[in-house]
Amino acid sequence: MSTPSTMSRRQFIKTGALAGGGLLLACHLPFGKRDAAASDTGIFAPNAFLRIGIDESVTVIVNKSEMGQGVYTALPMLVAEELCCDWKQVTFRASPVAPEYNHVQFGPIMVTGGSSSVRSEWSRLSLAGAAAREMLVSAAAQQWKLDPATCRAENGFVHGPGGRQLSFGKLAAKAAKLPVPKNPKLKAGTKKLLGKPLHRLDSPAKINGTAIFGIDVAVPGMLTAVIARPPVFGGTVKSFDAAKVLAYPGVKQVVGVDAGVAVVADGFWPALKGRELLEVVWNEGEGARISTAVMREEYARLAATPGLVARRDGDAPAVLAKAPQRFEVEYEVPYLAHATMEPLNCFVDLRADSCHIRTGSQFQTVDRNAAARVAGLKPEQVTLETTFLGGGFGRRACPGSDFVIEAVQVAKAVKQPVKVIRTREDDMRAGYYRPMWFDKVTACLDGKGMPLAWQHRIVGQSIIAGTPFESAMVKEGIDHTSVEGAVDTPYAIPNFLLELHSPRNAVTVLWWRSVGHSHTAFVMESFLDELAHKAGQDPYRYRRALLAKHPRNLKVLETAAKKAGWGKPLPKGRGRGIAVHESFGSFIAQVAEVSLDSTGQVKVHRVVCAVDCGKFVNPDTIKAQMESGIVFGLSAALYGAITLKDGRVQQGNFDSYPLVRMSASPRIEVHVIESKEPPGGVGEPGVPPIAPAVANALFAVSGARMRSLPMTPDKITAALKKG
């Protein structure tokens, strides 16, 4: 099983030649540009997306980070489909950081995010496979002195008239000498691999333990460091005493870095125990004044005032002012941690003229350039090797490159290879979070009970403010990620006003799985449910009427309702709730079936999910990602909350920030809609609908309307008393 590459791009190309030759091809749009390094070897290698060896192996070089979402299988499937190779011969390798691997939509950087891996690479990798296939067919035709049109590729062989056949491996060296087709043609007709459930290529290594995650990296002479970090956001080191620490067996050095004070040892345990002995005096600054309660009051005050207009249809304020009856509610959701199973870590081997980094990064170009800046090197002198990621959810795509920069600073100080590891508490208390949000929504209904006017104010920090992306992504003061899922609502509401307040404070925030949709879907789908009940209408049929002009929303809504048995009797003590939401180019509807136990805890028994993600690669991946998104979103809906008091995060580990365990996980059914629409994302869209679906189901079974997450027993009890 292949593991992420440790080689530079140039080394990779030359190694292929020294190993006996083969065809090394990458799709570069436009085709035909050759790599200068290839001229030394006679191998065609414009970008190195595809390698065909004389041993019949087919290696796809993947430029996206594998963090459980399945790109190490899905992207090779795109290549293999057009190449017409034997799938059993296909392996993968993580790409190095180079311009050829930059994201085709997100600018000149290599990045994995936005549920964009498959949809952004579909065309490029399909054309790469098609180009290679045409070259192999041409090579065989030349050898047989035939017209290429009389030959075809299938299952790793080129077949010609009269039963002739040559394997890809035998044709590789000859094909490498041919020109790259400028306009390769994609196959017509039925697909052999795409749309079929195939086992993941990375599963064997993860099962047998050979897969290397960042935290597994170990080299001779490596030191391990943990960092004592400020107890509040924005805090700095005033002074520290390392005398006791340096006396602890195994501790080698104690050094100051921007993030705090690093204790460096010959292993994780002595570094951790040494940190416990460290005496630090902190300058806490303004961060010590931050508290969730105070922020909540500020947000509520802002929500009562006009904000920046994100969308205006009709005149909602005027209609509301004349309405005989208005419905006004407030929703709130807390800060959330990414809580990846693998805490952040980074290995750095810094030399005078080079820097080798091994880590689980989603933001390779940004992290490499940040490392070069700190190390005093040129970007091309820094090699960043992407290992497997034990979860990302956006945390490993940080514009500030925090976990990489601190590791380079430690390596620079100790002058030895070092791996910096965060404990779970470090991750939880000194991290980046999904922002806390407060929404105020006011609506009125027309004579048929349908929404006539909807005024919506959203209050919360911008995840883009203060980053290098602010100038490009914040328009007229509006961060679109703050309002996505609300600003583009498909519901037919004639008078709609959406406003935004983006207060700033020292708490560091970042995109979190499904980004703005994670909070806007909860508010939109919950309040719509409230309006349906106010109108005395069925929540499912209410949505159908409002989505009449949106067939893809309707299709998933109707599919989920039908498969869940909407309208049919449930066992006593259970209720159903429904929600539908579009994000990242995909349409998702979910029906949750819940009950409320004697302790006031919500029990989710079943979730039915319908997904239309356009044309797709592997249905097994889609189902897995929907299941993953539902469980991830359910953890936030039922338990997740990061709270602050005197600037300090109150949660530290999974005892105070629990996730859904297997015993509490519902039965999940996923129904994938066949579609010819362009591909959408699947890594994130399963998250947004689950919280409102569960909240709506809870109301159906108990009458408790949840407008604040998480849905803890104390909040449910309060909602029941409120009626």
Which residues in 449-458 are b (16+ Cβ under 10 Å) and which e?
A: ebbbbbbbbb
Reduced to 3 states, what is the DSSP secondary structure of residue 22? strand
CA 487, CA 458: separation in Å to the nearest integer? Answer: 11
Q: Is residue 517 within 8 Å of 684, Cβ to Cβ?
A: yes
At residue 641's C-alpha, the angle toward residues 260 and 653, to 5°, is 55
Q: Quick: pLDDT tens for 286-306.
A: 999 999 999 999 999 999 999
Q: Which residues pair with 479 in a beta bridge?
A: 474
Q: Is residue 713 within 8 Å of 721, Cβ to Cβ?
A: no
Q: pLDDT-derived band of residue 53, with 50, 70 and 90 as boundaries?
A: confident
Tokens 């700033």 -> residue: 504
Order the strands of the 602-612 sheet from edge to edge: 574-583, 586-596, 602-612, 667-672
Task: List, in order of start, the domains of the chain with CATH numbers.
Answer: 9-208 (3.30.365.10), 214-285+344-421 (3.30.365.10), 292-335+433-722 (3.30.365.10)
- Of 346, 360, 364, nearest to 417 (Cα)? 346
Say whether pLDDT at 46 is over 50: no
Average pLDDT on 416-429 reads 98
pLDDT of residue 164: 97
Q: Quick: pLDDT tens for 132-187.
A: 999 999 999 999 999 999 999 999 999 999 999 999 999 988 898 899 998 999 99
Say whether pLDDT at 11 is over 80: no
Say whether pLDDT at 30 is over 80: no
Q: pLDDT-derived band of residue 22, with 50, 70 and 90 as boundaries?
A: low
Burial class (CB within 10 angstroms; exposed 0-12, middle 13-18, buried 19+) of 306: exposed
- Residue 322 CB contacts under 8 Å (≥ 6 apart), including other chains: none
Q: Quick: pLDDT tens for 468-523.
A: 889 888 888 899 999 999 999 999 999 999 999 999 999 999 999 999 999 999 99
DSSP 450-498: SEEEEEEEEEE--SSTTSTTHHHHEETTEEHHHHTTTTT--S--SEEEE
